[in-house]
Amino acid sequence: MLANGRQLRRTSTLGARWACYTSATDCKTLHSTSDGANTERDRRCGPLQGIKVLDLGQVVAGNFCGAALAYFGADVIKVEPPGTGDALRSLRTTDKSGNSLWWRSYGRNRRCITVDMRQEEGRHIIKQLANNVDVLVENFRPGVMEKWGLGPKDLKPDMIFARISGYGQTGPKSQLAGYASVCEAYGGFRHLNGFADRPPVRPNMSLGDTLAGLHAAFGIVMALLHRQRHDNKVPGQVVDAAISESMFNMLEGCIPEYVYSGHDRPPSGSTISGVVPSATMQSKDGKYVIIGGNGDSVYSRLMAAVGRPDMASSNPLYATNTHRCQRADEIYKVIGDWVASHTHDEVLAAMAEARVPSGPILSTADIYKEEQFRQRNMFHVAAPPEGGEEVTLPAMLPVMTGTPGSTRWAGPDLGHHTDEVLKEQLNLDSDELLRLRQQKVI
C-alpha cells in the first residue's frame, strides 16, 4: 500500500509486472480539491470520472458496455433483480462463491444494487435514480421500458439513453428476441465466416454482443461530447445500438461491391478473398501460422524468403494484388509447400528476417505467457470490494497515456452496494431499506 492510498498488485510470478488500482474514495477526494489537482485526478481516475451511469443492462452486451464505462472512470450503478441477479453471474466457470469469473471481469468497478423492476415501487426507485445520472443503459426487448414508464420520454429530457437490442428500436424485426448467435448471422458475419462447403462457423465467443456493447459505449461518449460542447444546454438523445447492425458495421466493402457489381462476397476459409497472399498455413511440426504478404514490396520479400524471387512483384504476372488474385492457387501452393517443410519457429524467424507480417495462433494459455501482453499490462489482479478471492482479469482497451482506465475492484457480489447507493442517492434510512427488503423490492 502506498502513502497515497493506491494499491500495487503483482500480475504474475513470471516477472515484475504491476497493475495500479485507485479506489473510488481517492477519486472523490481528488474531485473535491482545487483545480490544480485536475491533471492528477484525470490521470488516476480515468477520462469519464464525474459521469454517472445507471446500468440496467444484462448478460453480455449491456454488461460489456457498463464495464467499459466504469473501467474508464464513470460511476456506474449496476441494477440486478433480487435473489437471482444477472444471468452472467452463473455462466461458465465460477469461483468458490458461485459467481462466474466472466462476471468478476465484466462487473468490475461497478456499484451493484438489487431492485425488482417488476414491482411498481421498484420502478419508482429506478426513476428516482435516473434523475441523478447522466446516462442510462438498458438492453431489454424494445418497448419494455416504455411499458414500465421508464422510456426516454418518461425520464428527464437531458438523459443520454443507451439502448441495446437485437435489431434496433424500429423496423419490422425490432420486437424479435435478439441473441448474438442469431444476430451475427442476420448481420452477415456468419455467412462470411467459415468454408464454402461446410456449415457457417461460430467463433467460441459472443462477438456480436461485445461489439454491440462497444458501439453503445462509443455512442454514449459521442453524446456526452455533444452535450458538453453545448454547455449541457441541449436535450439528451437515444443511442440505439443493435447487435445485427454492429456486425453489419464490420462488413467493409461488401455492400458497395454487391450493389455496384453484383458480387456477393462468399466465405473464404482461412484466407480472405480479394487479398493475396493472406492465409493460415501448417508448418512441419503441425502448428499453424498466419502470413500476410499482400503489399507489393512485402509480397516480394515474402517470395524471396520462400526461395522464389522470380515470383516477386517485379514479374508482370504478379505485379499487383489484382494479378496475384488471378494466380492465387499457384502462389498459395508455393508458400504452403515452403511452410510445410519448415518448423513453426523457423517459419516465424524467416518471416521476421524478411520483415513479412506473420505470427502464431495463440490460445488463452499462450496469451497468458506472452511477454508482449505482460509488458503492456494486459493482466490485472483484483478482488471484489467485499473481499474474497483475487482474480486475474484482462485489461480493457484502448491504452491511454494521459487518462488510462484501471481495474479498481472485481465484479461485486450480488447487491453489495444496495444500502450504500440508496442511502447516498435517495436518502433512504435503515428502516426504509428494511421495509423494502422485507417486501422483496430490493
State how far the alpha carbon of 437 is from the alpha carbons of 82, 116, 125, in Å: 9, 10, 13
Q: What is the pLDDT of residue 11?
A: 37
Task: Give the per-residue pLDDT at 45.
Answer: 85
Per-residue pLDDT of the chain (442 residues; tens, 9 = 90+): 323 333 334 333 333 222 333 444 455 444 444 444 455 555 568 999 999 999 999 999 999 999 999 999 999 999 999 999 999 999 999 999 999 999 999 999 999 999 999 999 999 999 999 999 999 999 999 999 999 999 999 999 999 999 999 999 999 999 998 899 999 999 999 999 999 999 999 999 999 999 999 999 999 999 999 999 999 999 999 999 999 999 999 999 999 999 999 999 999 999 999 999 999 999 999 999 999 998 999 999 999 999 999 999 999 999 999 999 999 999 999 999 999 999 999 999 999 999 999 999 999 999 999 999 999 999 999 999 999 899 999 999 999 999 999 999 999 999 999 999 999 999 999 999 999 999 999 9
Under DSSP, is residue 143 helix (H, G, I), strand (E, B) or coil?
Answer: coil
**Looking at the annotation, which residues are catalytic?**
209
How confident is the model at residue 42, as a pLDDT?
52
Residues in the chain: 442
β-strand partners of 358: 291
**Euclidean distance between CA atoms 109 and 10, whole angstroms:** 19
Beginning with the edge strand found earlier in the chain, give each strand of the sheet holding 160-165 in spatial order: 111-114, 75-80, 52-55, 135-138, 160-165, 238-242
CA pair distance 122, 441, nearest whole angstrom? 6
Q: What's the predicted TM-score (pTM) here?
A: 0.89
Which residues are CB-neighbours of 90 under 8 A, at least 6 positions away? 98, 100
Contact yes or no for 193/250 (Cβ under 8 A): no
b (16+ CB within 10 A) / e for 208-230: bbbbbbbbbbebbbebbeebeee
The reported pLDDT for the residue numbered 27 is 56
